[in-house]
Homo-oligomer: A and B are copies of this chain.
Amino acid sequence: MRKIIGIEDQELIARIAKAMGHPTRVAILLFLASQDSCYFGDIHEELPIAKATVSQHLKELREAGLIQGEIETPKVKYCIHKENWKMARELFVDFFNTYVEKDVMC
């Protein structure tokens, strides 16, 4: 049985996809996914770009709901937003499953 994806889910998919639509942001997400949590500095260290730019990318990912940041003065700890990540995964799985050659999945 194929899931029906309503207009609101479509916009959510677009919103999340947009946040994922930059190599640096994909790299950040994968780094966080592998670290389970880490500080701004750790992320910045991994990337060949200015800290202001890193901060901006992190902001976009946060606003899309994919990550969350929390202040541990004087540092800021970032991590994957578990619930939203799970929801995003389900959205994308359903999305890509709207088209399949054969109905044999999984």
Contacts and interface: CB of A to CB of B under 8 A. Distances in A.
B88 A96 contact: yes
A60 to B, nearest CB: 11
Q: Dominant SS at the A interface?
A: helix
Interface residues of A, number: 36
A29 B13 CA distance: 12
A47 interface: no
Interface stretch (A48-56, A68-76, A98-106): A98-106
Contacts of A43: none
Interface of A: 5, 10-11, 13-15, 17-23, 25-27, 29-30, 32-34, 80, 82, 85-86, 88-89, 92-93, 95-99, 101, 106
